[in-house]
Amino acid sequence: MIGILGGTFDPIHYGHLRAALELKELFELEHVRLIPCAQPVHRDSPTASALQRLEMLQLATQNQTDLIVDAQELQRAGGSYTFDTLTALRRDYPETSLLSFIGSDAFNEFTTWFRWQELFDLAHIVVITRPNTALNPLDNFFKTRLTDDRQILKQELAGRLFFQEITQLAISATTIRTLIAAQKNPRFLLPDAVLDYLSHHQLYQR
Ligand code: ATP
């Protein structure tokens, strides 16, 4: 099984890294692919360039072989669609179950995503929740796919919906950008190598 964690990663921080590792261990994954989006479809443009966000991901994961940086969305022209990304991964890994991780906020908007129903033909959808997260009620399309059995995710290649509670660190990229703009030090929220990169490239400074 392979896990997929997409995001803006503007910049990558310990919240992402800790979640990726925890998910890798919980689901006994071969690896988790961290996939930075080029042009996000559902939010404003990132502050750092695509290349900078990619380089920061590479610095953050350099000694962690089970976290793989996948630049495919940056190599494709136009907007980044999960549908295209999962289609490409399904082609590359025809015999492996794919777990596409999404945050519960994103899941509440899921039915607005491009070809969202077909995403279940390509991967399982695993919604990452915090303890006591409020979720919208599930309609029948989701209810019929819902499982709480991790073995089923392993046995089937795609098609299931799973909710996984994890301990999310209270860190966001927005907080880091805001701290830097206010000339405060975001150290210990993200790897030192990424912090050095931010200083060197004067990123997020006002
Ligand atoms: P921003 O503050 O710019 O919105 P972010 O910190 O939420 O950014 P994203 O790049 O948007 O980071 O997140 C990528 C993925 O990582 C999303 O699925 C998001 O739910 C998840 N994620 C973000 N922060 C955390 C965290 N602290 N713990 C666990 N997962 C996180």
What are the residue boundaries of the structural domains of the chain, listed by start?
Answer: 2-201
Tell me the per-residue pLDDT of 93-104, one tens digit each, with 9 for 90 and over.
999 999 999 999
| Residues 6+ positions from 7 with CB-CB distance below 8 Å | 16, 34, 35, 36, 37
Q: How far is the CA of 117 from the centre of ligand 1 (A)?
A: 23
Q: How far is the CA of 55 from the centre of ligand 1 (A)?
A: 18
pTM: 0.94
Q: Of all protein residues, whose CA lies closest to atom 7 belonging to ligand 1?
A: 172
Tell me the per-residue pLDDT of 141-196, one tens digit each, with 9 for 90 and over.
999 999 999 999 999 999 999 999 998 899 999 999 999 999 999 999 999 999 99
Fold of the 2-201 domain: Rossmann fold (3.40.50)
Q: Which of 38-52, 82-96, 161-175 has the lowest mean pLDDT?
A: 38-52
Q: What are the strands, taking DSSP E only, across the chain?
A: 2-7, 31-36, 67-69, 98-103, 124-129, 161-165
With bands split at pLDDT 50, 70 and 90, how would you rate the model's confidence at 46? low
